[in-house]
Structure 1
Amino acid sequence: MSKPINTFSRRDFAKLSTLGIAALPFLGFQNAFDPINSATENDLKVHLFSKHLQFLNYRDMSEAAANMGFDGLDLTVRRKGHVLPEQVKDDLPKAVEAMKAYGLQPQLMSTNVWDVNDDKNKVVLETASQLGFTHYRTDWLTYPENQSIQESQAHYAKQAKALEQLNEELGLIGGYQNHSGKHVGAAVWDLLPILEATKGEFLGCQYDIRHAVVEGAGSWELGLQRIKPFINTIVIKDFKWGLTDGKWTLINVPLGEGMVDFKRYFSILKKYKINVPVSLHLEYDLGGAEKGHSTLTISKEEVFKNMTNDLQFLKEVWKQAE
């Protein structure tokens, strides 16, 4: 089997880019932020997954994201997140205040929310709604071993319908992320019996191309075609397969260095007229920032440089895709 080829590589991007990328984190807020916001309505709105900035407080996190040119933050409001669910009433307003101080409007957040009968989940959504958030990622689901997959899907479909009703009341849109492995939705197709129980307006899919390619190296386009009516946000990251201690394993890499064919992917999104909020994830080695650590083994300037590189690559390939 031949190795998938990324038709637009990071090396190609390096030749195209004439930006002083490494210097961006040190520019003033106005200089770094304005060029990104001069985009047309057809450009992507890219939010940085705040997990990778959990070594910073709310204000420094917001300043860094703005200086790098991000349109916003995908704020972690979950266990071990930037905002803990049990402290959401006190801390989420503080995070939003810091974001707005640097021109970042609240829009995306990643949560552990699924069951509407959990009072903590309700408080998270109610607080986020009051503060202006519009989209959030739900919790992941698994298939219990003591019941069939079909039974589990029927149960989750009822929960999805109830969650969508709450979302509609609060003016929020939830997205379930397809995640490789044994999670519900890893195969994408198995999300349909769950999501089709909803209207598809206030609950849908946060589509993750990295995980889709992991699970469907040659068939991910079919899964995308089937799930596209439910896509309301997307996640961007890259990977490749490699040998580690004699075993094949997933290796996370910067955008353009892995197996995701971003130019093809973006071309399909444009064909389907899918332009939704984007969450950029960086899961390759960033001295602990990739795992949400509060202390790093590399300088924050090096972390910012990698984040800016991925952001600029993403925006350039989006422009090149037809």
Structure 2
Amino acid sequence: MQRRHFLELSTLAAASAAISTAQDSPATTTRPRLVFTKFLEQVPFDQLAAKIATLGADGLEAPIRKGGHIEPAQAADKLPEFVAALAKEKLKVGILTTDIVRVDKESETLLRTALAQGIKHYRLGPYEYNFKKPIAPQLAEVRAKLKDLAAMNKELGVQGQFQNHRGNNRVGSPLWDLISALEDIDPAQLGIAFDFAHATVEGANAWELNLRRAASHVVAIYFKDYKLEGRSWNPCPLGEGCVGPTSAAVVKEVLPADTPFSLHIEYVGGSGEDRVANTLEAMKQDLATLDKWLPR
């Protein structure tokens, strides 16, 4: 009886240890890693896919807007080709960057075309305030447009994402206005793409407060960095400016582990093949930084 009792206790202890270990182990993240392919729009689809595949990213935040990889009016013909080229490299379009700001025939057509290619997430275009008019009524108009877009998104089965952006007259710049406009809107239909660089430009000491307040609306994270010299914005490699590992620590604390992030590169100059090569190298380096901040 004593031996049996000992074995039972040993079994319970082993099971308890296994449970404890599982609870103490960090959860495996499924966070998609995207790269924003702005400035790479002129690279042929197959070449772009092959180059991005070498970076270890899961997919693209791809500009399908005026001046983007594909003009919206040509999406029905060219988007399937674009998606097929990416699929050959086991990549996908995680976020479609658009100029959409209202419900209209063109917007719905583009989203239906994207959905047919398996693309369910898109970024909206910007809204701006007119300082010659009262702000509150303008924000109410923006809210009405966002509610209409959310209703369309629900009907189609897609999700819209609104990026907070720096700028004295940009809706979402202070974040409080965007959060207010999105109240009672299901983030499954329309949420915030939280851009750390723009959030710190406009709220150097309040970005964490803003993120925590906005967290229930945040559906994507945008990473890029900059140095602020006076009032001048100077983009730089990730981790060398105002955006640091603390941002990733807060992300891990307040956002779900499957919230996608998109890496933005805006500090590479030049043109032509040199700019393409330098942008890809910058993506590689900044992704390595993010791997340290947000390990898979």
Task: Bin the TM-score by the shorter chain.
Answer: 0.7 to 0.9
Q: Determine the C-alpha separation between the residues in 2 that align with 1:147 and 1:300.
A: 42
Partner deviation per Cα, 1:224-270 (whole Å, 9 max, x = no partner): 1111111011111000112xxxx641110011111112x21111111
Q: Partner residue of 1:134?
A: 120
Q: Partner residue of 2:13?
A: none
Q: Determine the C-alpha separation between the residues in 1 that align with 2:276 and 2:116.
A: 33
2:177 pairs, out of 165, 190, 203, with 190
| 3-state SS of 1:218 partner | coil
1:165 alignment partner AA: A
2:264 pairs, out of 270, 277, 281, with 281
Measured after TM superposition, the shift of residue 304 of structure 1 is 2.2
1:103 pairs, out of 51, 75, 90, with 90
1:176 alignment partner AA: F
Verify: 1:53 aligned to 2:29, yes or no: no
Q: Partner residue of 1:19?
A: none
1:269 pairs, out of 251, 260, 263, with 251
1:92 pairs, out of 52, 57, 79, with 79
Asked whether the 8 Å contact 2:164–2:171 carries over to 1, the reply is yes
Q: Partner residue of 1:120?
A: 106
Between 1:184-193 and 1:48-57, the stretch displaced more is 48-57
| 3-state SS of 1:78 partner | coil
Asked whether the 8 Å contact 1:210–1:236 carries over to 2, the reply is yes
Identity of aligned residues (%): 32
Q: Determine the C-alpha separation between the residues in 2 that align with 1:273 and 1:107.
A: 18
Measured after TM superposition, the shift of residue 299 of structure 1 is 6.1
Q: Over aligned residue pairs, what C-alpha RMSD do you find?
A: 1.7
1:249 pairs, out of 199, 216, 232, with 232
Q: Partner residue of 1:143?
A: 129
Q: Partner residue of 1:171?
A: 157
Seen in structure 2, the aligned counterparts of structure 1 residues 41 and 105 have a Cα distance that, compared at 3 Å, is farther
Q: Partner residue of 1:72?
A: 59
Asked whether the 8 Å contact 2:268–2:275 carries over to 1, the reply is no
Q: Determine the C-alpha separation between the residues in 1 that align with 2:56 and 2:295.
A: 16
Q: Determine the C-alpha separation between the residues in 1 that align with 2:111 and 2:231.
A: 40
Asked whether the 8 Å contact 1:160–1:197 carries over to 2, the reply is no
Asked whether the 8 Å contact 2:42–2:69 carries over to 1, the reply is no
Seen in structure 2, the aligned counterparts of structure 1 residues 232 and 98 have a Cα distance that, compared at 3 Å, is same
Seen in structure 2, the aligned counterparts of structure 1 residues 239 and 135 have a Cα distance that, compared at 3 Å, is same
| 3-state SS of 2:67 partner | coil
Q: How many residues align?
A: 268
| 3-state SS of 2:294 partner | helix
Q: Determine the C-alpha separation between the residues in 1 that align with 2:28 and 2:106.
A: 36
TM-score by length of 2: 0.86
TM-score by length of 1: 0.79
Partner deviation per Cα, 1:193-217 (whole Å, 9 max, x = no partner): 2111422321010100000000000
| 3-state SS of 1:68 partner | coil
Q: Determine the C-alpha separation between the residues in 2 that align with 1:227 and 1:265.
A: 14
Measured after TM superposition, the shift of residue 66 of structure 1 is 0.7
Measured after TM superposition, the shift of residue 105 of structure 1 is 2.4
Between 1:302-311 and 1:133-142, the stretch displaced more is 302-311
Measured after TM superposition, the shift of residue 45 of structure 1 is 1.7
Measured after TM superposition, the shift of residue 100 of structure 1 is 0.6
2:161 alignment partner AA: G
Asked whether the 8 Å contact 1:161–1:197 carries over to 2, the reply is no
Runs (4 or more) in structure 1 with deviation over 4 Å come to: none
Measured after TM superposition, the shift of residue 274 of structure 1 is 3.1
Measured after TM superposition, the shift of residue 315 of structure 1 is 1.1
Structure with bigger gyration radius:
2
Q: Determine the C-alpha separation between the residues in 2 that align with 1:272 and 1:299.
A: 36
Asked whether the 8 Å contact 1:46–1:278 carries over to 2, the reply is yes
Partner deviation per Cα, 1:151-175 (whole Å, 9 max, x = no partner): 0111111111110111111111111
Q: Partner residue of 2:226?
A: 239
| 3-state SS of 1:96 partner | helix
